[in-house]
Amino acid sequence: MRLSTPATDSTTLRPQVLDWFARRQRHDWSKQDEQAFNAWLDEDPNHAASYREWLSNWQAIDTLPADAVARLRAGLARDKAQGQAKSQTQGKTTTQAAPLHPTRRRFFRPILALATTAALVVGTTWLVRPQWYGSPVYTQIFETARGQQGQVQLPDGSVLQLDTSTRLEIAYYEDRRQIRLTDGQAAFDVQADTARPFHVLAGPIRATALGTRFVVRHTPEIAGDAGVHVTVEKGKVRVASLTDRNDADEEATAQYLTAGQQIGADAQGILGHIAAVPSDGIAPWRDGRLSFINARLDRVLDEFRRYGDVPLRIRDPQVAALRLSGTFDPQDPATLQRILPAALPVRLQQSAQGIEIRSRE
């Protein structure tokens, strides 16, 4: 499922315009980039009109006197803090109200008091130089509900695939692209851009793409799975702990993964050893499969519950610790229920809370 809106929608055009504008300010802007930009302008009359409007307003900002700029900076700083607090509250509501629709955040609040200084507003969104306080030029939130998956293409062409119960917070800056995975797992097919590195933040870990396809998992709500796993499908990824005190410490502990490799980190950000992963074992959820290799039975049930209700229950710690291997359809827990007595020394017994998995002994 694509979580997007038509190209002519103003809410979609705004981040596109800002992305093109920011890129054209970079020193490495090439003739090929200019050709691509002109092609984008020609795609739709709204593209050219929106870009001209933004450029005109941008030039108008340069005419503001220095004291007005100082007041604008102060107002924006206050507004940024208020907007972040408000967006966090709104984010909780979005999860309940419209989990499959992206929650669009305005770049800046629509009203800023500048006393007698001239102010500039475009539509209902303030557009000012983002480098004044490091604000992003593009923000977005994407999330999937329980049992649902989604795919979205970002303004730079990077494609994200979201598994069930996943939430991503996107923030593109002039000098970097940042994705925060707060829960779930996602696959990232990243468009290379050396001027703007692509970072994925998950718990205590930062994974930096070096032109690649990779998968990140972070499920802090699942007992025993509060850490982070990074798996590379193509290219190269740098994985570092955010708990390191400085850049030197971070580089000393950072790990570089190539295709077919995976690394995990615990909840404190301590990286484990790099392990090999077969190609069919990289994010099988994209093909509607759950794959387990010698996994604890309670962890298997927890993974099924990410996709939907499972009537199976375990009270015996020894039963919970039994190991299971196999590939299953996450939407078909009934098959798991049927094979358990044959695969493990257990029996199923109906109880008031559901079906309890008990030891046969």
SS (H, E, C) 198-234: EEEEECCEEEEECCCEEEEEECCCCCCCCCEEEEEEE
**High-pLDDT (> 90) share of the chain, %:** 47
Chain centroid to CA 177: how far?
11
N-to-C CA span, the chain: 47
Closest CA to 170 of 15, 302, 30: 15
Backbone angles phi, psi at 55, to 5 degrees: -65, -40
Which tokens hold the place of 299?
């962890």
HEC assignment per residue over 37-73: HHHHHHHCHHHHHHHHHHHHHHHHHCCCCHHHHHHHH
Is residue 155 scored above 70 in pLDDT? yes
Is residue 237 scored above 70 in pLDDT? yes
What is the rounded distance in angstroms from the CA atom of residue 279 to the CA atom of residue 286?
13
Beta carbons within 10 angstroms of residue 140's beta carbon: 20
Provide the total of helices (H) and of strands (E) in the chain, helices listed first. Answer: 8, 18
Q: Which domains does the chain have, with CATH numbers?
A: 1-133 (no CATH), 144-279 (2.60.120.1440), 288-359 (3.55.50.30)
* pLDDT tens-place string over residues 63-106: 555 555 555 555 555 545 554 454 444 443 333 333 333 333 32
Residue 335, helix vs strand vs coil: helix
Work out the average pLDDT over 188-211: 92
Residue 295, helix vs strand vs coil: strand
What CA–CA distances, in Å, run from 349 to 41, 151, 255, 337, 360?
65, 40, 47, 11, 11
Closest CA to 52 of 122, 154, 142: 122
What is the rounded distance in angstroms from the CA atom of residue 119 to the CA atom of residue 109?
13
Residue 143, helix vs strand vs coil: strand
Radius of gyration of the chain (CA): 24
Sequence letter at residue 52: R
Is residue 121 scored above 60 in pLDDT? no
* Residues in contact with 183: Cβ distance below 8 Å, sequence separation at least 6, in sequence order: 165, 166, 167, 218, 219, 220, 221
Q: How many alpha carbons fall within 13 Å on the CB side of residue 52?
A: 6
Cα dihedral 182, 187, 193, 197 sign: positive
Chain centroid to CA 323: how far?
31
Q: What is the pLDDT of residue 210?
A: 84
What is the rounded distance in angstroms from the CA atom of residue 166 to the CA atom of residue 185?
6
What CA–CA distances, in Å, run from 90 to 101, 208, 291?
14, 29, 35
Our CA dihedral for 188, 192, 194, 200, rounded to 10 degrees, sits at: 0
* pLDDT tens-place string over residues 45-56: 888 877 777 666
What is the rounded distance in angstroms from the CA atom of residue 81 to the CA atom of residue 130?
15
Work out the average pLDDT over 118-136: 41
Work out the average pLDDT over 2-8: 39
Q: What is the pLDDT of residue 290?
A: 93
* pLDDT tens-place string over residues 261-305: 999 999 888 999 999 999 888 999 999 999 998 999 999 999 999
Is residue 221 scored above 60 in pLDDT? yes
Query: Per-residue confidence at 32, pLDDT binned at 50, 70, 90?
Result: confident
Residue 349, helix vs strand vs coil: strand
What is the rounded distance in angstroms from the CA atom of residue 135 to the CA atom of residue 129?
9
Q: What is the pLDDT of residue 113?
A: 26
